[in-house]
């Protein structure tokens, strides 16, 4: 991958850096956040210590995935970022759809293909020098899935062989453009500008699901999409409730 080529193909106006290998692109950008002058996309051709939500590991394979982080500064405080991971998921899913690969979304921050996880999103924050806040958005996207990596992960995961054949710089430029457009809109209007778009992509709309926290069942009901704050709406026997993001797993009830 070539940083200059990605920037030439993109209209986002974002600085791009490509490194052959690193532990975690999120960790790298978080360490630099206080000195960043503008948005930066950091791409790793191989990431050895990728992280997912709730401290989970994100396993990837060189040449078979995209692993990158985007640092983006917001003028408001942390409260203004409510729903940001869902807005990012919407932008990523819509971009993949425009590239010919329809996908769905799972609350709060997974991209699904045929019911299996295709991409994960991890958003972390750091203070900016001027009082704003940097959001460091880490994304791991499976392009192909070697049998040995799937065995290491220990569950069925998705891949997009169609996009794996696409030139990497072109693919990253398209994803960067979709993300940058969404982040600018989010900064202006918040998640309310994305909730209807997210709901159109909801993979488990109307499905009977259970909400788990550390293996304990908290709620069960019909998944009814998200509200303008990014909360999952669940239709239970006692009426509709709103689930707030946290260390919660969503599973289709069988």
pLDDT tens digits along 16-72 = 999 999 999 999 999 999 899 999 999 999 888 655 544 444 445 556 789 999 999
Residue 70 belongs to what domain range? 3-200
Annotated active-site residue in 11, 240, 251, 253: 251
Whether 233 contacts 224, CB under 8 Å: yes
Q: Are residues 96 and 143 in the same domain?
A: yes
Handedness of CA 85, 91, 92, 97 (dihedral sign): positive
Q: Are residues 153 and 235 in the same domain?
A: no
Q: Are residues 176 and 230 in the same domain?
A: no
* Catalytic (active site) residue 240: no
Annotated active-site residue in 53, 106, 168, 231: 53
pLDDT tens track, the chain, 254 positions: 899 999 999 999 999 999 999 999 999 999 999 899 999 999 999 888 655 544 444 445 556 789 999 999 998 888 899 999 999 999 999 999 999 999 999 998 899 998 888 998 999 999 888 878 999 999 999 887 544 544 444 445 667 777 878 899 999 999 999 999 999 999 999 999 999 999 999 999 998 888 888 778 888 889 999 999 999 999 999 999 999 854 566 666 65
Q: Are residues 131 and 240 in the same domain?
A: no
pLDDT tens digits along 184-195 = 999 999 999 999
Report the pLDDT value the prediction gives residue 243, as an integer from 0 to 100. 92
Q: Which two tokens stand for residue 44?
A: 């790793």
Q: Are residues 8 and 27 in the same domain?
A: yes
Q: Where are the beta strands (DSSP E) in the chain?
A: 15-19, 40-44, 50-51, 57-58, 65-74, 104-106, 110-113, 116-127, 133-142, 208-213, 216-226, 232-236, 239-243, 249-252
Annotated active-site residue in 51, 73, 113, 117: 117
* Catalytic (active site) residue 53: yes
Q: Are residues 39 and 19 in the same domain?
A: yes
* Catalytic (active site) residue 165: no
Number of domains in the chain: 2
Q: Are residues 146 and 242 in the same domain?
A: no
Q: Are residues 54 and 176 in the same domain?
A: yes
């Amino acid at each position: 991958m070539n940083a200059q080529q990605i920037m030439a193909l993109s209209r986002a106006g974002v600085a791009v850096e490509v490194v052959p290998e690193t532990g975690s692109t999120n960790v790298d950008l978080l360490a630099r956040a206080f000195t960043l002058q503008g948005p930066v996309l950091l791409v790793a051709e191989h990431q050895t210590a990728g992280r997912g939500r709730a401290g989970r590991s994100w396993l990837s394979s060189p040449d078979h995935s995209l692993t990158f982080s985007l640092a983006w500064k917001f003028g408001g405080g942390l409260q203004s970022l409510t729903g940001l991971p869902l807005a990012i998921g919407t932008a990523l899913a819509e971009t993949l759809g425009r590239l010919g690969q329809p996908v769905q979304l799972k609350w709060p921050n997974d991209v699904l293909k045929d019911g299996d996880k295709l991409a994960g999103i991890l958003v972390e924050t750091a203070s900016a020098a001027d009082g704003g806040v940097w959001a460091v958005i880490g994304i791991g996207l499976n392009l192909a899935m070697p049998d040995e990596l799937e065995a290491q992960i220990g569950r069925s995961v998705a891949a997009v062989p169609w996009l794996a054949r696409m030139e990497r710089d072109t693919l990253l430029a398209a994803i960067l453009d979709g993300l940058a457009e969404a982040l600018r809109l989010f900064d202006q209007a918040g998640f309310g500008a994305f909730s209807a778009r997210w709901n159109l992509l909801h993979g488990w709309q109307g499905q009977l699901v259970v909400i788990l926290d550390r293996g304990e069942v908290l709620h069960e009901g019909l998944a009814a999409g998200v509200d303008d704050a990014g909360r999952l709406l669940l239709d239970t026997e006692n009426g509709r409730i709103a689930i707030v993001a946290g260390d919660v797993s969503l599973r289709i009830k069988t």
